[in-house]
Amino acid sequence: MSKPVRVLVVDDSALMRKLIPQILQQDGSIEVVGTAMDGAFGLKKIEELKPDVVTLDLEMPRMDGLEMLRVIAAKHRLPVIVVSAHSQQGARATFKALALGAFDFVAKPTDALSVHLAEIGAELVAKIKTAGQTRAPKLPVEVWQGERRIHKAPTRKMIPPTQIVAIGISTGGPNALQYLFSQLPADFPGSIIVVQHMPEGFTEMFARRLDECSSIDVKEARSGDLLLAGRALVCPGNRHIEARRSEPSGLVVLEDQPLVNGHRPSVDVLFRSVAKEFGGHATAVLMTGMGEDGAEGMGAVKAAGGLTIAQSEESCVVNSMPRAAIERGHVHRVVPLQMLADVLYARCSVERVRPKESPVLAVSGRGAKEPDVR
């Protein structure tokens, strides 16, 4: 029998220091070894108790969570899961924490100071278990932290894309996407749709953050948004997203269907739609993340003639999602994060040699053949 994951809970709320351990210790594979009321006490407890994982509130007196996280990242190299306030301020602090090296986060319910905190119990337990099995956290690439913004032209031509690039991503996703998008040029000829497993209320700020560090345009998706060259659409939390063929360039539709693979949004829903609608003009990318969401949908894209790409294990925070697709035989190429922007640009630029006004709509979406860029 494997040893339980040893967890330290750091939160300035006495009620949270009581409720979170109660939730975690319902799972026999987790042992809460201690609690701390702020970052300063938390650092002392790390030295004393040697936990495997830390859960961390960010808003605390004396030493807040961000300052504690900086010390952990520099000295202890422990995986940290942020327990974040479900607010705009909480979202902003959470993205800073992820940029500093936090493993992942869970969002407290709006009425977090109640028994409804148990609603996030299963998610928190799953992330703690995964974090406890993961190598020491690191930032393999430079992550944008808000010190600079990309200056863009106030308007951009509405150009149909050459390819529809569908990306599925989860744990480790915010940093990985910030790096990827910062590497794409303003004239990127494809259109990108992103499903990032993230709670409702966080994705709008996340999309704005991506837009600020990117030369392409990034926004949270709304039903009817067009698929345009140089545009990325991020699916809102708690909605599914599908791509549809429509003149002149295709569009996205948001839906409130049941959870798929335990998720809404689900990567499988997105991948199956781009396979059906765009076939050989679809590129599916599975990046860092927990679970198996997207593996079967990636198989549909491959069967329809599209290109399928998995992020390499060594550049993932968690490799479960890419590995699930690789093990099923659904992946054409395995690409490190540092090379992914170049691969996508090359893939989407193939159509530029073809004098077609609207490449993604110029052929049947089922089984259309692409030149080999694999």
Catalytic residues: 170, 197, 293
Cα 238 → chain centroid = 14
Cα 100 → chain centroid = 16
- Please state, in angstroms and as integers, the Cα–Cα distance from residue 140 to each residue in 212, 220, 228, 290, 316, following that order: 21, 26, 31, 18, 9
Q: Which two tokens stand for residue 16?
A: 């949270």
- Please state, in angstroms and as integers, the Cα–Cα distance from residue 17 to each residue in 21, 34, 46, following that order: 7, 9, 16
Q: Are 125 and 201 in contact (CB under 8 A)?
A: no
φ, ψ for residue 244, nearest 5 deg: -130, 145
Q: In 3D, which of 6, 11, 134 has the Cα closest to residue 82?
A: 11
Q: Which two tokens stand for residue 285?
A: 């990318």
Q: Which residue type occupies 285?
A: V
Q: Are 164 and 204 in contact (CB under 8 A)?
A: no
**In angstroms, rounded to a whole number, what is the distance separating the alpha carbons of residues 243 and 277?**
7
